[in-house]
Amino acid sequence: MNTASVTVDLAAAPYSIRIAEGSLSEIGTLIGEHTMFSGKKVALVTDSNVGPIYLKTVQEALETAGFQVTPIMVPAGEASKCIEQLDSVCRQMLQAGLDRKSLLVALGGGVIGDLAGFAASIFQRGIPCVQVPTTIVSQVDSSVGGKTGINTPEGKNLLGAFHQPSLVVADTATLASLPEREFNEGFAEIIKHAAIRDEGLLSFVENRAEIRSHLVELMERNVSIKARVVEEDERETSGTRALLNFGHTIGHGIEAAGGYGRFLHGEAISLGLVAAARLSVSHAGLSQAECDRIIAALELYDLPTRLSDDISTESILEAMARDKKFEEGAIRFVLVSSLGQAHVSSSVTGDDIKQSIDRLRLSN
């Protein structure tokens, strides 16, 4: 079996990311080998897309290892990242008799990871969580680093907590079941990682014909980038972790303005990456050739690089004004000066952002 392991070396509680094809069936053993959990009760939280495919495999693997499993299923989709589903998950755990010595396993994409991780952070004032990501976005990004949360009508991820997982189990076999659109959206986060930390990763991604044959290596390279950034700045206090927001400032605004569900997360981030790359040319010295290379890589995975006329610039700016990335009204904008070199800038103005959004409606 082709396997890889990455450690997130945090002082308080280091944890492992296990990457392999076929690892879902070994999850019970992996929990025993790589966590300090000694209880028996486990909440297995998934959604209506992932559950019918993988719930039985994971539940049986946990029960074979001696765990008592309470499966909990929520509706698939971004709309489930809400206070009502958070309440439902926690109450089902209480009704099933789970307690502060229990464990939560989050089986699914970014929505489940965020929702279930947040539930674990507040249930009985906090219980351990094992992330089992089943999409590219969640395997390369959201399952690592401990950011959990839900959305509100006012914005994305405005309620949440830092709650590091005890273990991440990424089974690359689950990526084969993704529809092409959802497979492709994950490459927005991968291309972001390449832009801010690893130019060589972009070369890897540009070889699309071979990409499905090297998924373990692809996941390992990406989570290694994410792990190192999280180690340097676990709670986003020094500014290093903010680099992971490259493309997200405008991207989150587009996602919110479009109404959650119109864009997949990676599709909105793709548009944000185009805007951020162009701003990097004008404000950070990124070469036009490198900017064009970022945009071409996004297009290689059929990700959007042009914004529809029916989403107004004003609605995007209004959504951005509610974003956590604003500090006392000022925007922290991530720019890249060259591929692999990123920094947080205060030089980008509101007018610059408005113009960059307007430009997204043009063909070049």
pLDDT at residue 325, as a whole number: 57
Mean per-residue pLDDT, 289-314: 97
Radius of gyration for the chain, computed over Cα atoms and rounded to the nearest angstrom: 20
- pLDDT at position 155 over 90: no
Please check the confidence at residue 27 and state whether its pLDDT lies above 90.
yes
> pLDDT band at 298, cuts 50/70/90?
very high
What residue has token string 């907590």? Answer: 161
Query: Residue 171: pLDDT band by 50, 70, 90 thresholds?
Result: very high
Give the residue with greater pLDDT, 236 vs 139.
Answer: 139
DSSP-derived 3-state class of residue 118: helix
Distances (CA, A) of 142 to 25, 76, 113, 127, 189: 22, 17, 7, 19, 10
pLDDT band at 321 (very low <50, low <70, confident <90, very high): confident
Predicted local distance difference test score (pLDDT) of residue 238: 84
Give burial (CB, 10 Å; 0-12/13-18/19+) of 256: buried
pLDDT band at 288 (very low <50, low <70, confident <90, very high): very high
**Average pLDDT of span 177-184:** 95
Q: How confident is the model at residue 327 (pLDDT cuts 50, 70, 90)?
A: low
Average pLDDT score, the chain: 95
pLDDT of residue 97: 98
Q: What is the pLDDT of residue 73?
A: 98
Write the CB contacts of 128 (distance below 8 Å, at least 6 apart in sequence): 35, 36, 37, 103, 104, 120, 165, 166
The answer to whether 250 and 276 have CB atoms below 8 angstroms apart is: yes
Instruction: Return the amino acid letter for 185.
Output: E
In the block, which residue shows the tokens 């064009």?
292
> Please, are residues 121 and 148 in contact by the beta-carbon 8 Å criterion?
yes
Residue 178's pLDDT is 95
Q: Which residues contact 168 (CB under 8 A, 6 or more apart)?
A: 15, 16, 17, 18, 130, 131, 132, 133, 143, 144, 223
The predicted pLDDT at position 236 comes to: 86
User: What's the confidence (pLDDT) of residue 343?
Assistant: 96
Give 337's pLDDT tier (boundaries 50, 70, 90). very high
Tens of pLDDT, residue by residue over 47-69, are 999 999 999 999 999 999 999 99
Distance CA 194, CA 311 (A): 29
Give the count of alpha carbons within 13 A of 207, CB side only.
Answer: 11
Residue-level pLDDT at 296: 98
Least confident of 219-233, 259-273, 298-312: 259-273
| CB distance 147 to 8 below 8 Å | no
Summarize pLDDT for 262-277 with one digit per residue, the tens: 999 999 999 999 999 9
Domains of the chain: residue spans and CATH: 3-177 (3.40.50.1970), 234-359 (1.20.1090.10)
CB 278 within 8 A of CB 195: no
Give yes or no for residue 220 having a pLDDT over 80: yes
The pLDDT of residue 4 is above 70: yes
Q: How far apart are CA 171 and CA 58, in angstroms?
A: 11
Question: Please, which pLDDT band fits residue 330 given cuts at 50, 70 and 90?
Answer: low
| pLDDT, mean of residues 35-47 | 97
Tokens at 3, concatenated? 């396997």
Q: Which residue has the higher pLDDT, 329 or 318?
A: 318
The SS3 assignment for 207 reads coil
Q: In the chain, pLDDT over 90 holds for what percent of residues? A: 90
Question: What secondary structure does DSSP assign to 40-83, as a single string?
Answer: -EEEEEEETTTIIIIIHHHHHHHHHTT-EEEEEEE-SSGGGSSH
Q: Is the pLDDT of residue 208 over 80?
A: yes
Task: Classify residue 39 by its DSSP letter.
Answer: -
Contact in structure between 245 and 325 (CB atoms under 8 Å): yes
Instruction: Say what the pLDDT of residue 141 is.
Output: 94
Mean pLDDT of 335-341: 98
130-157 mean pLDDT: 94
Question: What is the pLDDT, as a whole number, of residue 1?
Answer: 65
Tell me the CA end-to-end span of the chain in Å, nearest whole number: 44
